[in-house]
Amino acid sequence: MNIPFVDLKAQYQSIKADIDGAIANVISETAFIKGKYVEKFDADFAKWLGVKHSIGCANGTDAIEIVLQALGVGKGDEVIVPARTWISTSEAVTTVGAKVVFVDVDPHLYTIDVKKIEEKITPRTKAIIPVHFHGLPAEMDEIMAIAKKHNLFVIEDTAQGHGAKYKGKLTGTFGNAATYSFFPGKNLGAYGDAGGMVMNDDALATKCRMIADHGRLGKHDHGLEGRNSRLDGMHAAILSAKLPYLDSWTKARQKNAGLYNEALKSLDIQVPAVPSHSEHVFHLYVVQVNNREEVQKKLQEKGVATGIHYPIALPFLKAYDYLGHKPSDFQVAHAQMSRILSLPMYSELTAEQINYVAKVLGESL
Ligand SMILES: *Cc1c(COP(=O)(O)O)cnc(C)c1O
What's the pLDDT tens digit per position in 194-243?
999 999 999 999 999 999 999 999 999 999 999 999 999 999 999 999 99
How many whole angstroms separate alpha carbon 28 and alpha carbon 53? 28
Question: Of all atoms in ligand 1, which is nearest to the CA of residue 88?
Answer: 10
Q: In the prediction, which pLDDT does 209 show? A: 98
Which whole-number Å values give the CA distances from 14 to 9, 192, 195, in the listed order? 9, 19, 23
What spacing in Å lies between the alpha carbon of 42 and ligand 1's midpoint? 19
How many whole angstroms separate alpha carbon 201 and alpha carbon 348? 37
Q: Is 196 left (phi over 0), alpha (psi -120 to 50) or beta?
A: beta
How many whole angstroms separate alpha carbon 38 and alpha carbon 132? 26
* Ligand 1 neighbour 282 (Cβ under 6 A): no
Name the nearest CA neighbour of 343 among 307, 312, 293: 307
* In the chain, % of residues over pLDDT 90: 100
Q: In the prediction, which pLDDT does 138 show? A: 99
What spacing in Å lies between the alpha carbon of 182 and ligand 1's midpoint? 8
Q: In the prediction, which pLDDT does 43 show? A: 98
Res. 173 pLDDT band, cuts 50 70 90: very high
Indicate the pairing of strand 125-128 with strand 78-82.
Answer: parallel
Res. 139 pLDDT band, cuts 50 70 90: very high
Q: In the prediction, which pLDDT does 185 show? A: 98
* In the chain, % of residues over pLDDT 70: 100
* Ligand 1 neighbour 59 (Cβ under 6 A): yes
Give the mean pLDDT of the chain. 98
Q: In the prediction, which pLDDT does 241 show? A: 98
DSSP state of 237: H
Q: Dihedrals φ, ψ of 45, to 5°?
A: -70, -40
Q: How many helices (H) and strands (E) does the chain have?
A: 11, 14
* Ligand 1 neighbour 233 (Cβ under 6 A): no
What spacing in Å lies between the alpha carbon of 193 and ligand 1's midpoint? 10
At 186, which amino acid appears?
K
- Chain-centre distance of CA 250, in angstroms? 14
**Residues 187 and 162: beta-carbon distance below 8 Å:** yes
Name the nearest CA neighbour of 54 among 44, 64, 66: 44
Give the pLDDT mean for 28-56.
98
Question: Of all atoms in ligand 1, which is nearest to the CA of residue 133?
Answer: 13
What spacing in Å lies between the alpha carbon of 356 and ligand 1's midpoint? 30
* Ligand 1 neighbour 159 (Cβ under 6 A): yes
Residues facing residue 155 across a β-bridge: 177
Q: Give this prediction's pTM.
A: 0.98
Res. 134 pLDDT band, cuts 50 70 90: very high
What spacing in Å lies between the alpha carbon of 61 and ligand 1's midpoint? 6
Question: Of all atoms in ligand 1, which is nearest to the CA of residue 85?
Answer: 13
The residue whose CA is least distant from atom 10 of ligand 1 is 88
What spacing in Å lies between the alpha carbon of 271 and ligand 1's midpoint? 23
The residue whose CA is least distant from atom 2 of ligand 1 is 159
Q: In the prediction, which pLDDT does 188 show? A: 98
Give the pLDDT mean for 309-335.
98
Which whole-number Å values give the CA distances from 123 to 120, 147, 322, 351, in the listed order? 10, 13, 22, 52
Instruction: Characterize 277-315 residue by residue with b for buried, 16 or more Cβ atoms within 10 angstroms of its Cβ, and e for exposed.
Output: ebbbbbbbbbbbbeebeebbebbeebebbbbbbbebbbb
Q: In the prediction, which pLDDT does 177 show? A: 99
Q: Is 156 left (phi over 0), alpha (psi -120 to 50) or beta?
A: beta
Q: In the prediction, which pLDDT does 252 show? A: 98
* Ligand 1 neighbour 181 (Cβ under 6 A): yes
Indicate the pairing of strand 53-57 with strand 195-199.
Answer: antiparallel
How many whole angstroms separate alpha carbon 48 and alpha carbon 222? 31
Q: In the prediction, which pLDDT does 104 show? A: 99
What spacing in Å lies between the alpha carbon of 145 and ligand 1's midpoint? 26
pLDDT digits (tens, 9 = 90+) for 331-343: 999 999 999 999 9
